[in-house]
Amino acid sequence: MSANEETANIWIECASAVKDELIQTMKKYKIRKKVDISDISKSAYVYASSNQNLTLMEDSVKLTTPDPRLPSLGNRIIASENLKSADNMCVDLESEQLYHEHRYKLGIGEGITDLPPGSCFPLECNLTFLKGVSFDKGCYIGQELTARTFHTGVTRKRLMPLVFENVPAGFKTDSSIMSEKGKSAGKLRDFISIYGLGLMRVAETKGDLNIIDVKGNKLKVKADIPSWWPSENHML
């Protein structure tokens, strides 16, 4: 997110759990570039609003921008103070739980639980559909594998939205999801209420699915292909 193009300020939002590691990595790779990298997490508040035509007049609002990943995610807001305590706010800012539930309904991963560092691939996380991967820029870490996989045209596993028959209480992340034929269909990443996200074998997601815990307990679950996936990728 660019706060001011004239001064070339760029604000980067990331999961708080990996903030320090991200800063260290960026400093390591800036080499001799005249770039200052600093942590502003104690002076910046990040919000999401599903209102796609949002206008905020608060002086504390530093940036309001459409979420670059998908129009259905609405707007991202960065402010210098807690907007929810302001008396004259005229827009409902989503609670964190509602925001994550909305993401899961759309099938969008975010943070280290949905996108575990070191064990997830950009194409499997649908980042090519969400403006998260460039095939035009120069080399970057993981570029060769990502580009080769992309140009083969086949990505067999992808993050997909899940809807459970009931709240899957007691089921943990990485619980197995099986097809009606008893084949492995994927793994649970996380859930809120009856909505979740799974890394799924797309070809095995048709028909009834069951999530299974370590004790063998089963719960019916349905995986859907999101409407925002490009049509040519519906059958992989």
Average pLDDT over residues 38-64: 78
Measured CA to CA, the distance from residue 80 to residue 88 in angstroms comes to 16
| One domain, residues 120 and 90 | no
| One domain, residues 223 and 122 | yes
| One domain, residues 115 and 224 | yes
Neighbour tally for 12: CB within 10 Å: 11
* Predicted TM-score (pTM) of this structure: 0.83
Q: What is the pLDDT of residue 91?
A: 47
Average pLDDT over residues 177-201: 95
Contact criterion met (CB below 8 Å) for 186 and 199:
yes
- The torsion angles phi and psi of 2, rounded to 5 degrees, stand at -95, 120
Angle at 14 between CA 119 and CA 161, to 5 degrees: 55
Kindly report the CATH number assigned to the domain that includes residue 120: 2.40.30.160
Q: What is the pLDDT of residue 88?
A: 39
| One domain, residues 217 and 139 | yes
Kindly give, in sequence order, each residue whose CB lies less than 8 Å from that of residue 26, ignoring residues fewer than 6 positions away: 37
| One domain, residues 66 and 178 | no
| One domain, residues 89 and 12 | yes
Under DSSP, the state recorded for 181 is: T
Contact criterion met (CB below 8 Å) for 158 and 121:
no
Q: What is the pLDDT of residue 105?
A: 96
**What is the total count of domains within the chain?**
2
Domain boundary among 94, 124, 156: 94
Q: What is the pLDDT of residue 202?
A: 93
| One domain, residues 189 and 81 | no
On the question of pLDDT at 85 being above 70, the answer is: no
Where residue 234 falls among pLDDT bands split at 50, 70, 90? very low
Measured CA to CA, the distance from residue 189 to residue 116 in angstroms comes to 9
| One domain, residues 160 and 195 | yes
| One domain, residues 115 and 146 | yes
- The torsion angles phi and psi of 185, rounded to 5 degrees, stand at -105, -20
Higher pLDDT, 231 or 166: 166
Which domain range does residue 117 map to?
Answer: 110-236
Average pLDDT over residues 174-201: 95
Q: What is the mean pLDDT of the chain?
A: 84
| One domain, residues 117 and 208 | yes
Where residue 184 falls among pLDDT bands split at 50, 70, 90? very high
Q: What is the pLDDT of residue 235?
A: 43
Contact criterion met (CB below 8 Å) for 170 and 218:
no
Residue recorded with tokens 């899940």:
162
pLDDT per position as a tens digit, 109-155: 999 999 998 888 888 999 989 988 877 776 766 677 777 777 777 78
Domain boundary among 94, 126, 160: 94
| One domain, residues 70 and 21 | yes
Q: What is the pLDDT of residue 89?
A: 45
Measured CA to CA, the distance from residue 155 to residue 128 in angstroms comes to 11
| One domain, residues 190 and 122 | yes
Contact criterion met (CB below 8 Å) for 107 and 159:
yes
